Amino acid sequence: MGSLKEKHEAQESGFFATRVDALVNWGRKNSLWPMPLGLSCCGIELMAMIGPKFDISRFGAEAARFSPRQCDLLIVAGTLTWKMAQACRTIYDQMPEPKWVIAMGVCSSTGGMYDSYAVVQGVDSILPVDVYVPGCPPRPDAVIDALLKLQKKIERESPLHRLLHEPGTPDERGTGSLLRQPNAAVVRNELDLHPHAPGARRTASER
Amino acid sequence: MTSAEQTAERVHAALANLAAGDGPAPRDGTLTLEVSRGSLHAVLERLKEQAGFETITMVTCVDHLGGRRSEPRFEVVHQLLSIEHRDRVRVKTRVASDDASVPTCTDLWPGASFMEREAYDMFGVTFEGHPNLARLLMPEEYGHHPLRKDFPHQGIEPDRLYKEWDRERRARAAREQAGGSVR
Amino acid sequence: MTRTFEYSPDAEAAALHDDPVHGELMELNIGPQHPATHGVLRLKVDLDGETMRNVEPVVGYLHRGKEKTCESLGWAKFFPHTDRLDYVQPLMNNVGYALALERLAGIEVPRRGQEIRVLLMEISRIAAHLIYLGTTAIDLGAVTMFFNTFKEREKIYGILDAYTGHRMNNTYVRIGGVFADVDERVEGMLREFLESFRREIDGFEAVLTGNRIWYDRNKGVGTITRADALAWALTGPNLRGSGEPHDLRKAEPYSGYEDYEFEVPVGTVGDCYDRYLVRVEEMRQSVRIASQALDRLEDSRGLDVLVEDRRYVLPPKHKVHTSMEELIFQFKIVTDLCLPRGEAYHGIESSKGELGFYVVSDGSSTPVRCHIRAPGLYNVQAIPLLAEGRLLSDMVAIIGSLDFVMGEVDR
C-alpha cells in the first residue's frame, strides 16, 4: 500500500520524471534483444519468426544473441522438462536487468498437452512471465503480437521510480510464488492408479 | 523381401542346438523367438554371425503387470534387421520383477548401448555387462522407473530435485545480499 | 628465444616434454542450451588443447513421457503427440504411427489415401532436409543458406496451411487414411512449388557444393565405415553415406512406394560431405516422387481417402446426425477405440533414418505398449564415435551432419 502511494505521488508530481520514464521505456521497448530458448517445436516457429518472412527485426528485436548476458527478452519456446528446469532458471538468472519473459506456446504457458511426470506445468513455476502466447505452436504472427503487447507493457513501467526509490529490491515480477505445486498428483486413491496397476479401479462406482 | 518360410528356415538353421521356441505369430509377420535369459546372448550372437542379421533395430521392454499373463513381469524384446536378406526377427525374453536382469548385447552391437540404458531407465531392467548402465532420459538422481504400470502418468514428486536446487540457490542469493553486495 | 612445439596426438609424450599445449584434459560443457546443438542436447567434452578426447552426450532434456502418454490416452488420441516427435517433419511421424496401427488392425488404406500420404511424406522429407541444410550451414558460417532454406520452408508451410489448416504439427493422418482430400487449389500450389524447388536445389548446390570452405570443413570429417554404421544401429542418410544402399522404401515398401520410380543416393566415403550430398540428392528424388504422386492423384479423383471401417474410422458428420448406428460408431470410436490383441512393428524411412513404432495391444482400449524407435537417438549415440580425436570446431559439422531432432531423441 505504501509503495503504491509513493508511486502515485511520484507520477503526479514529476513531469520530468515521466518524460524520462517515457524515453527510457521507448529505448527499451524498441530494442528488445531476444534470447531464444528454443526447446522444441516452438523453436522452429521462433526461427521462422527471425527468418525473412516474419522478420522480427522490424521491431528492433534483431539481435537474437545466444548468450543470456547480452539479452533482455527470454522467449521460452517449447516444452520445459524438470531435467531442463535448472538450466532454464540459470539462464534467466544470468540475464542482466531489466529483463522480460515471453512464454511462447502452450507447453511453456501451462505444460500444454503434456501432463506427465517429466514436464513442468508452465514455465511460470520457475520464472516470472510477462506475456503468455497460446498455440501449439503459435503462428509467428502471434508471437509478434505478444512482442507488441510486451512493448505496451513496458511503456507502462516507471524505471526512474524504481531506480530512485527501490534500488535494492530484486526484480521478481510476474507470479508471486516461484514454485507452485505442479504435478501435485501424488497417488491419492485407487482411481489415480493406472488401470493395469494392482488395486486400480476405473470408475467411482466400482469397488 | 524374403518370405516368412525362408526366414524361419535360415534362423532355425543358425540356431541349430539352442533352445528357442517360436513365439505367437505377431500381426506384422515378423518371426518371433521366445528364449530364456540364459540362452539370450548365444541366440543373438548366432543370429548375428550365422543368420546374417547385421544390425539391431531396437531393445525395449513391455511391462505385463495386470495383464493376462502377468508373471514373469517384464518382457525384454530385441529386434534385429538383416539388410542382406531384407527381413527381421524379434527375440523375446521374460524376466520376473524381483530378478529383472538380462545379459547385454553391447558386445555384439555397440549401438545397443543407448537402447539398453533407456530400457533400464524406464523399467528398471538391468543389463549385465553393460559398460555404462546409467539413466538416459530422466535425471541421474531420479528414483523411479516411469514406464512401469504401477507408476502414475502424472508422476510422483518430479520437482523434488528442482526444489532442493532452488532452496540452495535462494540461500546463496540471500547470503550474497546480506553479505554486502552493494547495488 | 622461441620454442616450437610440434602437434603430437600422444599426450603422454607431450607431457614429458612440458608442452604447454597438451597436458591435463579440460572438461567443456556444451549445452543443453546452445544454438549449434539442434535442440537441447548436452555434450560433455574432454579437451586436450583443441582436440576432443572424450565426448559424452547427455540427452533427456526434452523427455516428455510420450510412451507413457500413449498408454494413458489411447491409440487415436496419441496422433498429435506423434507430430511433436520429429517436429520438422510432423506428417511423416503421423504416417509411421498410423501404419503400425493399421498393421496391427489388419486394415488397408485406400489408393487415394496412400497417394496423399506419399505426397505428404515426401514434402515432409524435403522440409526436414531443408532444416538440416539451413541449420548446419548457419552453424558453419554460411548464413545465406539459413535464409534461403527457411524461405523455401515458408512456401511449404503455406501449402500445408492451405491444406491442413496449420503450418506445422498438422496431425492430418488418421487410422485408415488421411483426414480430408486435397482440392484443386492445393494441387496447384504443390505443382508450382515442386517446379520452382527443382531450380532452388540447384541454387543451394551452387552456394555450397563447390564452395572451398564448405568442402574443407566437411570433407574427411566424421567418417563412418559401413561396418561401424551397422554396429552402431545407424540408418537413413547416415548409413547410406557410408555405402550401404538400404532404404526402407525399397527394401520393405509401404504405402504404395513399390509403384514409384525413384533412386536412392548412396555415398562412398561416409564423411560429412558425402552425407550432405546424399541429402541434397534425396531432396531431388523427393521432388520426383511427389510429382508422380500428384499425377496419380489426378487419376484417382473422387475416390475415398479414408477406409470405410467403422471400428476405427469416424463416420462423416451428416451421417452421425441422422443415423443411430453411425452415432453409436462415433461414440465407440471416440471413447473406446480398441485394437485387436497382438503386437506389430512398422518402420518407415524418415529423413533421419528408420522411424519405427512397436505397438502392443491386449484387445482393450488401453494400449499395453507403444515404443517409438527414434532414429535420432542412435544418431546422437554415434557422436562420440565420430568426434573423438578431432578438433573442437569439427564438432559442429559432425552434429549437423548426423542430423537429429531432440523431440524424437528424447520423446
H-state helical runs in C86-183: 90-105, 111-139, 143-164
The reply to whether CATH 3.40.50.12280 applies to domain A32-138 is yes
Query: Which of B58, B64, B135 faces C373 most closely, judged by CB atoms?
Result: B58
Residue range A83-99: average pLDDT? Answer: 85
CA neighbours closer than 13 Å in the CB half-sphere of residue A127: 31
Query: Which of B65, B67, B152 faces A185 most closely, judged by CB atoms?
Result: B152
Q: Does pLDDT of A154 surpass 60? A: yes
Q: What pLDDT, on the 0 to 100 scale, is given for residue A183?
A: 34
Burial class (CB in 10 A: 0-12, 13-18, 19+), C332: middle
Q: Give chain C's residues under pLDDT 70.
A: 1-23, 36-37
> The domain that contains C77 carries what CATH number?
1.10.645.10
Q: How many Cβ pairs closer than 8 A exist between chain A and C?
A: 89
Residue B114 lies in a domain: yes
In whole angstroms, what is the distance from residue C208 CA to residue C137 CA?
A: 9
pLDDT in tens, chain B (183 residues): 457 778 888 888 887 777 667 777 777 788 888 898 888 999 999 999 988 899 999 999 999 988 888 788 999 999 999 998 888 999 999 999 888 899 999 999 999 999 999 999 999 999 999 999 999 999 888 888 999 998 888 877 656 666 777 777 778 878 877 775 544
Q: What pLDDT, on the 0 to 100 scale, is given for residue A25?
A: 87
- In chain C, which residue's Cα lies nearest the Cα of A193? C72
Which residue range is the domain that position C390 belongs to?
66-410
Q: Is C340 on the interface with B (CB under 8 A)?
A: yes
In whole angstroms, what is the distance from residue C197 CA to residue C370 CA?
A: 37
- How would you list the strands of the sheet with B31-35, edge to edge? B21-22, B31-35, B87-95, B74-82, B55-63
Q: What pLDDT, on the 0 to 100 scale, is given for residue C206?
A: 92
Q: What does the pLDDT look like over C325-382, one tens digit per residue?
A: 999 999 999 998 999 999 999 999 999 999 999 999 998 889 999 999 999 999 999 9
Strand partners, A135: none
Residue corresponding to grid cell 542418410 = C237
Q: How many Cβ pairs closer than 8 A exist between chain A and B?
A: 83
Residue C56 lies in a domain: no
- In chain B, which residue's Cα lies nearest the Cα of C377? B114
Residue B73 lies in a domain: yes
In whole angstroms, what is the distance from residue C159 CA to residue C156 CA?
A: 5
- In chain B, which residue's Cα lies nearest the Cα of A115? B154
Residue C364 lies in a domain: yes
Query: Which of C40, C60, C168 faces A137 most closely, judged by CB atoms?
Result: C168
Q: Is the dihedral of CA A10, A11, A16, A21 positive or negative?
A: positive
Q: What percent of chain A has pLDDT over 70?
A: 71
Delimit the domains of chain A by residue range.
32-138
Q: What pLDDT, on the 0 to 100 scale, is given for residue A186?
A: 39
Strand partners, B74: B63, B95
CB proximity list for A19: less than 8 A, separation 6 or greater: none
Q: What pLDDT, on the 0 to 100 scale, is given for residue A185?
A: 36
> The domain that contains B42 carries what CATH number?
3.30.460.80
Q: What pLDDT, on the 0 to 100 scale, is given for residue B156?
A: 75
In SS3 terms, C215-237 reads as HHHHCCCCCCCHHHHHHCCCCCH
Burial class (CB in 10 A: 0-12, 13-18, 19+), C215: middle
Q: What is the ipTM of this complex?
A: 0.88
Residue B106 lies in a domain: yes
Which residues in chain C have their CB less than 8 angstroms from residue B155's CB? Answer: 65
Query: How many Cβ atoms sit within 10 Å of the Cβ of residue A198?
Result: 12
Query: Which of A79, A136, A196 faces C62 most closely, judged by CB atoms?
Result: A79
Which residue range is the domain that position B27 belongs to?
4-143
The total number of structural domains in chain C stands at 1
Residue corresponding to grid cell 524504481 = A162
In whole angstroms, what is the distance from residue C374 CA to residue C190 CA?
A: 29
Q: Which chains touch B (3 or more CB pairs under 8 A)?
A: A, C
Q: Is the dihedral of CA A175, A180, A182, A188 positive or negative?
A: negative
The total number of structural domains in chain B stands at 1
Residue C52 lies in a domain: no
In whole angstroms, what is the distance from residue C178 CA to residue C162 CA?
A: 15
What are the grid coordinates assigned to A132, written together? 503468455
Strand partners, A36: A75
Q: Which residue type does C14 have? A: A
Q: What pLDDT, on the 0 to 100 scale, is given for residue B174?
A: 80
Strand pairing report for A131-133 and B21-22: unpaired
Q: What pLDDT, on the 0 to 100 scale, is given for residue A15?
A: 77
Q: What does the pLDDT look like over C72-100, one tens digit per residue?
A: 999 999 999 999 999 999 999 999 999 99
In whole angstroms, what is the distance from residue C255 CA to residue C324 CA?
A: 34
What are the grid coordinates assigned to C236, written together? 537413413
